Structure 1
């Protein structure tokens, strides 16, 4: 049972004791009356004596009956018949319980006395099993009861606080003191929190009033929140660790696969993707075909707060301009000839509270762009034939392999729509500009297709070097297809450059030199010189090895690299992404 329940039970017991006809006094061993019910106040009034006079007369007889029994006391206003019971707490005597009535008046029955004993014993039993520390004080702030849990929570002994003013907490326990000061100012239910001896405490105080709504008792619950808060912190740390781990493995549904981020450029992009996933901003993803734009989109979705909500993907280039509005916004029944009888929900409504991908957004016509812009601005759609629009809550991501700004300059893409989409821009560089990712990607596809087709193919060092030298105009998609072909077609398990089936856009593609068009001789020599140095640098990364392969002096290699900016150029590109 918690402190809240203890408050309710204590108030219930007070009501029970007040319903008993007999006067009930609970007297501490030091002579103070720490509790009295309503009948006790009526008894004093009827006898015309003060509380001190009445308690003094009763105390004189307590020692005579040795703390338990029946006795009579004569006072100025009459004769009082008393039943004396011991008041114990946690096995230790704290004082006496006196049940009294005036001689000649209606007497308390034995059953009523038993009820009193049962109620008081139940109060003690409940307070002792409550996990929170409990302090009970009278209207003057004198502590009359505490439980075992309080000793553990505050590190005190009950014998040191019973019978003392609650001001002791103000001096020694600042959290409790703050609560007591507030309750003295305004006796109502109050909750305060703070730290005591490196423990995080939650203190709740509640007043109990008599039938005349006068303050009678104060009950304070003190809960040690340290263990609970520690558990909460551990759970939060575990949640963050799990989220970080899931991001690291970066796995997706479908054929997207993982984001391979070994190059500096892709590491920066992966970090940006995870930052973007935690916000609701519109994201524009650009890059050549096959660079992995959809994989990045999937990563944003699967690590966002909307990962359990709808994820709708639209290929803008596949929707005819005449159907754009009905597909994206939907239509009502009978909106036009050929419309479905039940109408149709548009993609925006299907994606409500989720994520919507506008793939190939650069393919939209100017007319479609106007309609899309309105939805983004107003955050509402209106079905064809509908009387009023419907609000939608959609996280929007757009992707394209086109240069939208160039299209804006050419007048084929709206500038206002461009700025609406280009809130956060992620550009994925082509594979030829991040060659550090080629071998990790090859290994990923090798493992994937070996498992898919039940093969055990291996890639030779020569093939690795060959693949590294290719320019991959089709980017990751082309690389994936090339690896799959080499897994499926050759009968040999050891794959070499001879097994490569592709366009061969790198150094080893057929003739060592290919003439695309006529240019001045000097320019051709310079371009070839630069290309040779670039290819050699990509493969060897050492001027000594480059000189050996090109059969020239190392000093010549160094001089020419400096002249054409080979090496430093690639570093600058990676740093700029």
Structure 2
């Protein structure tokens, strides 16, 4: 009697353990006989213990209790198997069957974990709907890499020192900031600096490129939308960037590309710090510091009716005009060293450059500004298999920047093609000799004999 009682208690214990598990559990022996199921299995499938215990899974399938069984294949192969099963009540569940072996390696039990496919689908929908939010929020963790070891951004020219002084003052306020400057000057960098040096530095920072979002999607991206607001909308709706940036900073890059209708809605959002999601009538409050940037002349855009004057005045609270790289020579060498260090570390190289190479960088006008330099140095380090880069590694156009060959600066009136080409050749050689310092290096650069360079230099009285 005592042994029977002990056995009964152990069965209850095992049953209790199975019932605390969050997955449905279905246990069979090697013949497919149902030995145990837990409460979660009953809940997921609608099948009761008393209906299935002691019965073969194949019989239960033939009776229409469910359409798929895993036991026979797992016993024959000794391998795990997964499948989707539909119960007699139309419930869909995921089965993950696992074999249990005895000491001789024979399958004696099959334990099947059962999960609700509907629940998994709902979780997948939730993950999908939030993926964009997660991706954008990761920008909060991205910090500008253009920094010294002491944490200061590399700006050494007098122009940038003065600009940074103004930036520090503006950053401590909640004033809207308008960043102006050519493409590639670093407006994105300055927007992050403004955020990092503000009282909101621990809150979210989001960037939206107004030129990259289709016009039909701009409103829903900024303001968000409610469930069913339009065809293809997420079934649970989605917050917009205004809401996601709440308490933090929102950077509106290329704001000059914003359509006029959205300019009007943006103006109201800026003034009232309120929004209404697409498909909703509910007004939502938010608290965001706005930074906008453009390479366009907004004064001219306003005159031509392409940009609202009231929005322009609302944005023009604090204006930071970022000068192009060609107007701040003092930053070229520090930035060159920074990018070499950055990409040497990234590609595990130790590439350096000569003084002549650096002089060419200083003389070049950098029409693409800092972005051009960044990408160009990365390309050099990736494509050159040398430890020391010289001017011979630079494209010809970088050595001709001081030559006035464009139509706006080169007079062609009453001059023959021969005369124009002669002047071009003279200026090209003059610039190359000044940068490289010797006939031999220029000859190597242009892939000609030294005597050719020497002869032409003498012809133009350059030596």
Q: TM-score range by the shorter chain?
A: 0.5 to 0.7
Corresponding residue for residue 516 of structure 1: 407
Can you list the C-alpha shifts for 1:511-553, whole angstroms capped at 9, x where unaligned? x66353773659999xx9xxx8xx99xx99xxxxxxxxx989x
Once residues 344 and 502 of structure 1 are traced to their aligned partners in structure 2, the CA distance between those partners, rounded to angstroms, is 51
Give the CA deviation at 1:504: 2.3
The one of 236, 245, 253 aligned to 2:142: 253
Which structure would you say has the larger RCO, counting Cα contacts within 8 Å and 6 or more residues apart?
2
Superposition pairs of residues 168-317 of structure 1, within 5 angstroms: 253-254=142-143, 256-258=145-147, 259-317=153-211
- Where 2:268 maps in the other structure, the secondary structure is helix
The one of 374, 379, 386 aligned to 2:268: 374
Is 1:407 aligned to residue 301 of structure 2? yes
Can you list the C-alpha shifts for 1:44-63, whole angstroms capped at 9, x where unaligned? xxxxxxxxxxxxxxxxxxxx
Is 1:345 aligned to residue 258 of structure 2? no
Corresponding residue for residue 488 of structure 1: 382
Once residues 449 and 471 of structure 1 are traced to their aligned partners in structure 2, the CA distance between those partners, rounded to angstroms, is 22
User: Would you say the 8 A contact 1:328–1:348 is kept in 2?
Assistant: yes
Once residues 373 and 519 of structure 1 are traced to their aligned partners in structure 2, the CA distance between those partners, rounded to angstroms, is 48
Once residues 507 and 338 of structure 1 are traced to their aligned partners in structure 2, the CA distance between those partners, rounded to angstroms, is 52
User: Would you say the 8 A contact 1:356–1:397 is kept in 2?
Assistant: yes
User: Would you say the 8 A contact 1:256–1:298 is kept in 2?
Assistant: no
Corresponding residue for residue 478 of structure 1: 372
Corresponding residue for residue 394 of structure 1: 288
Is 1:361 aligned to residue 289 of structure 2? no
The one of 316, 320, 325 aligned to 2:214: 320
Can you list the C-alpha shifts for 1:180-230, whole angstroms capped at 9, x where unaligned? xxxxxxxxxxxxxxxxxxxxxxxxxxxxxxxxxxxxxxxxxxxxxxxxxxx
Residues 349, 504 of structure 1: CA spacing in aligned structure 2 closer, same or farther, 3 A cutoff?
same
Once residues 273 and 397 of structure 2 are traced to their aligned partners in structure 1, the CA distance between those partners, rounded to angstroms, is 46
Corresponding residue for residue 32 of structure 1: none
User: Would you say the 8 A contact 1:348–1:392 is kept in 2?
Assistant: yes
Structure 1 unpaired stretches of 5+: 1-251, 541-549, 553-577
Give the CA deviation at 1:385: 2.3
Give the CA deviation at 1:255: 5.3
Once residues 268 and 203 of structure 2 are traced to their aligned partners in structure 1, the CA distance between those partners, rounded to angstroms, is 24
Corresponding residue for residue 356 of structure 2: 462
User: Would you say the 8 A contact 1:482–1:500 is kept in 2?
Assistant: no
Can you list the C-alpha shifts for 1:485-528, whole angstroms capped at 9, x where unaligned? 222222221110111247427437xxx66353773659999xx9
Residues 486, 337 of structure 1: CA spacing in aligned structure 2 closer, same or farther, 3 A cutoff?
closer
Pick the structure with greater CA Rg.
Answer: 1
The one of 263, 274, 279 aligned to 1:385: 279
User: Would you say the 8 A contact 1:469–1:506 is kept in 2?
Assistant: no
Once residues 366 and 377 of structure 1 are traced to their aligned partners in structure 2, the CA distance between those partners, rounded to angstroms, is 17
Once residues 450 and 434 of structure 1 are traced to their aligned partners in structure 2, the CA distance between those partners, rounded to angstroms, is 25
Give the CA deviation at 1:254: 4.4
User: Would you say the 8 A contact 1:310–1:354 is kept in 2?
Assistant: yes
Residues 502, 394 of structure 1: CA spacing in aligned structure 2 closer, same or farther, 3 A cutoff?
farther
Number of residue equivalences: 283
Can you list the C-alpha shifts for 1:125-145, whole angstroms capped at 9, x where unaligned? xxxxxxxxxxxxxxxxxxxxx
Give the CA deviation at 1:368: 1.1
User: Would you say the 8 A contact 2:360–2:398 is kept in 1?
Assistant: no
RMSD: 3.0
The one of 500, 513, 517 aligned to 2:394: 500
- Where 1:473 maps in the other structure, the secondary structure is coil
Residues 505, 346 of structure 1: CA spacing in aligned structure 2 closer, same or farther, 3 A cutoff?
farther
Give the CA deviation at 1:287: 0.7
Is 1:436 aligned to residue 330 of structure 2? yes
Residues 274, 506 of structure 1: CA spacing in aligned structure 2 closer, same or farther, 3 A cutoff?
farther
Corresponding residue for residue 336 of structure 1: 230
Once residues 260 and 300 of structure 2 are traced to their aligned partners in structure 1, the CA distance between those partners, rounded to angstroms, is 15
Give the CA deviation at 1:401: 1.2
Once residues 461 and 314 of structure 2 are traced to their aligned partners in structure 1, the CA distance between those partners, rounded to angstroms, is 55
- Where 2:398 maps in the other structure, the secondary structure is coil
Residues 367, 497 of structure 1: CA spacing in aligned structure 2 closer, same or farther, 3 A cutoff?
same
Once residues 513 and 423 of structure 1 are traced to their aligned partners in structure 2, the CA distance between those partners, rounded to angstroms, is 39
Residues 436, 336 of structure 1: CA spacing in aligned structure 2 closer, same or farther, 3 A cutoff?
same
Residues 404, 519 of structure 1: CA spacing in aligned structure 2 closer, same or farther, 3 A cutoff?
same
Give the CA deviation at 1:318: 1.2
Residues 273, 522 of structure 1: CA spacing in aligned structure 2 closer, same or farther, 3 A cutoff?
farther
Scaled by the length of structure 1, the TM-score of the pair is: 0.46
Give the CA deviation at 1:448: 1.3
